[in-house]
């Protein structure tokens, strides 16, 4: 009988050894998050005017050709969401294209916060940043 009991003990030991064991997390152990970090984004809220009147139909883009440009509505308003590496850059390069074929380029300082600006396309592009410092306005 001893060989049989030894066999049972060996079988139980091998079964127990194959069982995965999980230790409870310790309070000092870092918690690993399974969620990916949200992608950085900067929102440009704009208003386009020509000769003081709202300018609808102005296409606004920022350089990522995979993203469709935003088009100003009948009130000349648009909201452009800049994402990825462009949102991390210290400056945003915008292209505004009017319905009559005029193209305007501008560079806005990027502080990682929403940017509110007015764009006057009456002649050479004039940009007025709302709530911006003198340095940003320049």
The whole-number pLDDT of residue 43 equals 95
**Element (DSSP H or E) covering residue 127:** strand 126-129
The whole-number pLDDT of residue 65 equals 81
The whole-number pLDDT of residue 66 equals 83
The verdict on residue 8 lying in a domain is no
CATH number at residue 87: 2.60.40.4130
- Structural domain tally of the chain? 1
The whole-number pLDDT of residue 4 equals 60
Q: For 99, how many CA atoms within 13 A lie in the half-sphere containing its CB?
A: 12
d(CA 69, CA 59): 6
Per the CB < 8 A criterion, the answer to whether 82 and 63 are in contact is: no
The whole-number pLDDT of residue 52 equals 94
d(CA 20, CA 18): 6
pLDDT tens, residue by residue, 27-65: 666 666 667 666 789 999 999 999 999 999 999 999 888
Residues of the chain with pLDDT under 70: 1-34, 36-38, 132-138
Indicate the average pLDDT of the chain: 82
Angstrom CA distances, 63 to 39, 90, 102, stand at: 17, 14, 17
d(CA 49, CA 91): 23
User: Domain range for residue 79?
Assistant: 43-137
Predicted structure pTM score: 0.67
């Amino acid at each position: 009988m001893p060989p049989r009991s030894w066999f049972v003990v060996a079988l139980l030991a091998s079964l127990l050894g194959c069982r995965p064991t999980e230790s409870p997390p310790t309070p000092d152990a870092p918690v690993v998050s399974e969620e990916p970090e949200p992608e950085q984004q900067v929102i440009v809220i704009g208003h386009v005017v020509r000769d003081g009147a709202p300018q609808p139909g102005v296409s606004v883009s920022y350089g990522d050709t995979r993203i469709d440009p935003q088009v100003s509505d009948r009130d000349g308003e648009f909201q452009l969401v800049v994402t990825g590496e462009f949102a991390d850059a210290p400056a945003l390069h915008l292209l505004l294209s009017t319905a009559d074929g005029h193209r305007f380029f501008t560079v806005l300082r990027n502080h990682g916060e929403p940017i509110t600006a007015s764009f006057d396309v009456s002649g050479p592009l004039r940009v007025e940043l709302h709530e911006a410092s003198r340095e940003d306005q320049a």
